[in-house]
Structure 1
């Protein structure tokens, strides 16, 4: 699935992503990057609304989970079970969420896939970062569950 195809999938399956002007920049098994325009996500202080930042980070992790489970079972349900976010700096520009898998994460992905194949349910913990240009603006950790 290309970046554009996944973006259309997101906009169809989760319409809020279209209204919030989310755009898929990169969609690979090792890296997912999704951007958001500031204007539809602005708050009363002319910075990005915290809920919009959280939503972008949640979707980015959901996308990484999706890219790894779709090969096993395209009809799998994916939900966020638990998350935490740290807001580090205000965002005054368009912003980007990024989920990059490390070598350690690759082993977690293998375990996630094996567990799902065996039990039709599995959990994946991911770390996602949000940037305002080059500034790290937020860190997010999400526990995603894939189930039949």
Structure 2
């Protein structure tokens, strides 16, 4: 794991301790995407598939992590929270998995930063997908708000 990912993972576990219990590991942080590894054994339910609540929590946290990392990188100060979320469960997850979060478009981040600097509050939409065995198993969309 690269230093950037290790440092952010440590920050994540400090800010949201429950994420460590979910077995989340930051794999890659890129400019407009983050990839997180999810542990099947820590998140399976009585049907031997990953619990829907874990999928939702990991999707929200991965999307939040993308925005939080970019907020820190930009030197913005404020509180980042989720305002709204929607998730579609497409296939059961029976193995370790990954979650990838992205902004909807390339312009979203710049618009978010400019709005925050002008108004002290901004929102951004982030999408995430859980992938298992090279298949998309769920799709998430969340609205995140940064405020002073």
Q: 1:29 Cα shift?
A: 2.1
Q: Distance in 1 between matches of 2:132 and 2:143?
A: 24
- The total of aligned residue pairs comes to 146
Q: Does 1:33 align with 2:25?
A: no
The match for 2:118 is: 118
Q: Does 1:84 align with 2:75?
A: no
RMSD across aligned C-alpha pairs, in angstroms? 1.4
Q: Distance in 1 between matches of 2:146 and 2:77?
A: 10
The match for 1:13 is: 15
Gaps of 5+ in 1: none
CA contact (8 A) 1:29 1:64 kept: no
Gaps of 5+ in 2: none
CA contact (8 A) 1:72 1:117 kept: no
Q: 1:74 Cα shift?
A: 4.7
Runs of 4 or more consecutive aligned structure 1 residues displaced over 4 Å after TM superposition: none
Q: Distance in 1 between matches of 2:11 and 2:133?
A: 26
